[in-house]
Amino acid sequence: MLIAIPAENDPAEGRVAATPETVKKLVGLGAEVKVQSGAGVKSGIPDQEYALAGATIAPDAAGTVKDADVVLRVRRPRAADIAGTKQGAAVVAMMDPYGDIDALNSLAAAGVCAFAMELMPRITRAQTMDVLSSQANIAGYRAVIDAAAEYGRVIPMMMTAAGMIAPAKIFIMGVGVAGLQAIATARKLGAVVTATDVRPTTKEQVVSLGAKFIAVEDEEFKQAETAAGYAKEMSAGYMAQQAALTASHIASQDIVITTALIPGRPAPVLVSAAMVESMRPGSVVVDLAIEHGGNCELTKPGETVVSKNGVKIIGHLNVAGRLPATASALYAKNLLAFVETLIDPKAKSLAIKWDDELVKATLLTKDGTLVHPSFQARDKPASIVENSMDQLSSRRA
């Protein structure tokens, strides 16, 4: 059984789908592992380390995936990238499946079994495979580091001979995995931290991390969490009350980090241009939701813009990928945990259990067809996508 690790095509992608540690484990499972030369360089892993772990190094992508039974990648490949893999081979990646049916169809046409790691159910058994959490955790940390780097002042309180420096005030909007890590990181740096979310369960989490919780806690707030544990889209009335509450708070903040997402919907706009204008010059907004449209009205994807009043608004894409070595280490472990369920260690061969709930939830293509129920029609309404996401994660721990 051959497992292939090609290099990523996107020059902006620094992550890699295997590390020497996971290669060693795959070899231990009886696999032959082939890594494309240079695949790990941006994550600080030279070819030699993969070779020492038991991999063979292939000079190019075609030579890496030729005859592979399993291809592990960070991002969705083009059909040409996997030409030469066996029919029925498993291709596992973060497939970014929403909004590009043509790309999914071309994977189907390539005859591979494409698995989207983002669709992994968030159940206890699959916690080690949860790429959304592993990458969001890194992004939440990096958002605070990026903010601190752009902020022209120190974060902690300092008592110096030349005078006292007040600690920075950091406001985290959206307290999922990324937001919780952002709170923890900001606290460790010594900031005075406040946070908001629409899900009531987040209140206790925020307080337990030593931050203050701020939210409109009305009847709608009490019902804001879906059975799957995600936020509902809030009513216009709630959003207006939330905006009124947070507007005065944001005016006194030095750094605002936004992470708010609603599955299957554009990210809610929580920070208006007027709110940015109310902040003092030199303040920073980091918008982690930019890949889903952004939480701040002024964010531009991939850019740092400076508002008229001198506030920096950071819209980095692929924020987890800004710490490629750590992000790769965690992602590679997520993949290893999933791949272990796809192979038969005794026969040392690919043995996909089609009835396994993890397979059913993540399998996009099989036998030349796009098989995943959520991606059957080109113009699937967002509500159907959301419902299916809720079903996929309805057995969350």
| Contact residues: ligand NAD, CB under 6 A | 122, 127, 130, 132-133, 136, 173-179, 196-199, 202, 229-231, 234, 259-263, 268, 270, 396-397
- In the bound state with ligand NAD, the residue whose beta carbon lies nearer, of 243 and 251, is 243
Asked if residue 207 lies in contact with residue 197, where contact means CB atoms within 8 angstroms, the answer is: no
Q: Among the options 98, 230, 238, 331, which is catalytic?
A: 230
- Token look-up 């293509």 returns 365
Closest CA to 382 of 224, 240, 260, 267: 267
Tokens of 52: 């020492």
The sign of the torsion formed by the CA atoms of 32, 34, 40, 45 equals: positive
Strand order in the sheet with 113-116: 56-58, 32-36, 2-5, 70-75, 90-94, 113-116
Angstrom distance (rounded) from CA 313 to CA 126:
35
**Catalytic member of 15, 76, 122, 199:** 122
Strand 369-370 relative to strand 365-366, pairing = antiparallel
- Closest contact distance (angstroms) between CB of 298 and ligand NAD is 18
- Pick the catalytic residue from 81, 130, 197, 254: 130
Q: Specify whether 98 is catalytic.
A: no
Selected catalytic residue, list 75, 96, 125, 127:
127
Q: Rounded to the nearest whole angstrom, what is the least distance from the CB of residue 260 to ligand NAD in the complex? A: 4
- Token pair, residue 175, equals 């307290």
CB of 236 to ligand NAD, least distance (A): 12
User: Rounded to the nearest 5 degrees, what angle is found at the Cα of 250, between the Cα atoms of 137 and 234?
Assistant: 70
DSSP state of 6: P
The CA angle 281-287-290, to the nearest 5 degrees, is 135
Identify which of residues 191 and 214 has a Cβ nearer to ligand NAD in the complex.
214
Residue type, 86: K
Q: Which two tokens stand for residue 382?
A: 């967002």
Question: Residue 273 or 397: which CB sits closer to ligand NAD?
Answer: 397
Q: Which residues pair with 5 in a beta bridge?
A: 35
As measured in angstroms, the least distance from the Cβ of 242 to ligand NAD is 6
122 in active site: yes
User: Is residue 180 within 8 Å of residue 161, measured between CB atoms?
Assistant: no
CB of 113 to ligand NAD, least distance (A): 24
How, if at all, do strands 312-314 and 304-306 pair? Answer: antiparallel
- Rounded distance, CA 114 to CA 191, Å? 44
Reply yes or no on whether 130 is catalytic: yes
Which of 36, 106, 133, 242 is labelled catalytic? 133
The tokens for 186 are: 């900001």
Q: Report DSSP state, residue 236.
A: H
Closest by CA position to 177, among listed 125, 123, 139:
139
Least Cα distance to 275 among 305, 302, 236, 247 occurs for 247
- Shortest Cβ distance from residue 263 to ligand NAD (Å)? 6
Q: What three-state secondary structure class fits 26?
A: helix
Name every residue whose Cβ is closer than 8 Å to that of residue 135 and which is 6 or more positions away in sequence.
320, 327, 330, 331
**Is 230 annotated as catalytic?**
yes
Please say if 199 is a catalytic residue: no
Closest residue to ligand NAD: CB criterion: 176
At its nearest, how many Å lie between ligand NAD and the CB of residue 139? 10
- Shortest separation between residue 65's beta carbon and ligand NAD, angstroms: 31
- Residues with catalytic function: 122, 127, 130, 133, 230
